[in-house]
Amino acid sequence: MSAPATSPSAPLRPLLAIETSCDDTACAILAHDGTILAEGVLSQTDHAILGGVVPEIAARAHLDALPTLVAEVLKKASLTLADIDTFAGTTGPGLIGGLIVGSSYAKGLAMALHRPFVAVNHIEAHILTPRLPSLGADLHFPYLTMLVSGGHCQCVSVEETGRYVRLGGTIDDAAGEAFDKVAKMLGLGWPGGPALEKLATEGRDDAYPLPRPLKGREGCDFSFSGLKTAVSRLIDTQDPTGSRDALPRQFAADVAASFQRAVADVMADRAEHALALSPNATALVVAGGVAANKTLRQALEQVAANHGIPFFAPPLRLCTDNAVMVAWAALERLHAGETPNEIDTAARPRWPLSERTPATPEHVS
């Protein structure tokens, strides 16, 4: 049963969004003009000792955290649920358990208050984040986005809200996944990306001539599997027993720096190819969790400078999963003239950008 949508002529009040696609539980409230009224993120720590996200544990943690988190965010904004005009939730892609918990919670609030619900694509949210007015980017369509995260690595030409052209993507592991796996090889903690970046500051990025998979090849696809294998073989030369605690600190730092430079070089090369396919791009954008990496940002910023276009990257707190981006993606659709009320849509672990809304349950294979 669908909740009745708010009348288009009614004054638009704040929008509340929930994000639970992986292991971060997030809630945010934005005014209709994009002003951030309040936000909150609870990061789960139980997965660290397990070396990665356990979907069932993550889903249960979301369920426990959401009531308190939503109440806290409302309090920060000096609002009540009755003040919210529209609810939104990440409905895919991601870990299905978490998606069901978060989107169902937002749908329940929408139904109880007779408000519309917007089903948000997690990838679309990352892509549109740099257009958030409070960031001051003044970013106009069309622009090119390099999406780099733990689960996704794509080159996307952003033509307008809801119209995206995928120019290339990963054919094996995403960049973030490669960072985590190499960090594990080096005996670092989880999540591995930040730990590896920190260690790399102590090393030389030209210490080891690691491969740059697909660099110079036509197209905009990515491959990091061969790079990971090369790192593994390199580490084995120093640590044949597999006891990562035995790795010399300087060796580990040099490997981390060399690996990080290899990834940045590949991303820069792919961006060059993508811009050749998008001659009308007004800017180069990097988004997603790995966009927090400074070496990667610098490499892409140089590519943008070479093409005489601006480079944009969200602040670090908006690179990783958050609900501000989910709320803004929903508002972008409202600003584009849509009046979505997608309370019947199903959570979905895979949701291509080419599909405007997730499939209903009977269409999910």
Binding site listing for Fe cation: 122, 126, 321
As annotated, the binding site for substrate includes 147-151, 180, 193, 197, 293
116 pairs with which residues across the strands?
A: none
Strands (E) located in 318-361: none
Helix (H) or strand (E) holding 147: strand 143-148
Helix (H) or strand (E) holding 259: helix 249-277
CA distances from 116 to 37, 38, 282, 325 (A): 20, 20, 34, 18
CA dist 78 and 73 (Å) reads 9
Chain-centroid distance of CA 76 in Å reads 25
Output the CA torsion sign for 168, 302, 332, 361.
positive
List CB contacts of 339: < 8 A, sequence separation 6 or more. Answer: 5, 8, 116
- Three-class SS state of 148: strand
CA dist 64 and 80 (Å) reads 20
CA dist 91 and 345 (Å) reads 8
Output the six-digit token pair for 273. Answer: 């190819």
As annotated, the binding site includes 122, 126, 147-151, 180, 193, 197, 293, 321
